Amino acid sequence: MAKRTKKNDPQQKNKQGFDSSKTDSEFSKELGSAAANKAHKEKAKKERASKTKN
């Protein structure tokens, strides 16, 4: 069986959640996914609206 980590293990206890903007240097300056989704949705809405008018 695999060794289970103890909850009171100091390395585990003091771990902080990782910040993706620090670790991921390639995409750290880009929009967050929520903002990107919203922008894409708005663009798609405009395209659909222009198609229905014609």
User: What's the token pair of residue 44?
Assistant: 């798609």
Percent share of the chain, pLDDT over 90? 2
Report the number of distinct structural domains present in the chain: 1
Domain that holds residue 21: 10-52
Q: Are 6 and 12 in contact (CB under 8 A)?
A: yes
**pLDDT at 47 (0 to 100):** 87
**pLDDT at 36 (0 to 100):** 77
**Residue 5 covered by a domain:** no
Q: Mean per-residue pLDDT for 47-53?
A: 81
pTM assigned to the model? 0.36
**Residue 3 covered by a domain:** no
**pLDDT at 40 (0 to 100):** 86
**Residue 39 covered by a domain:** yes
- Of 40, 37, 10, 31, the closest CA to residue 48 belongs to 40
Residue reference for tokens 């798609």: 44
**What DSSP string describes 17-44?**
PP-HHHH-TTTTTSPPHHHHHHHHHHHH
**Residue 21 covered by a domain:** yes
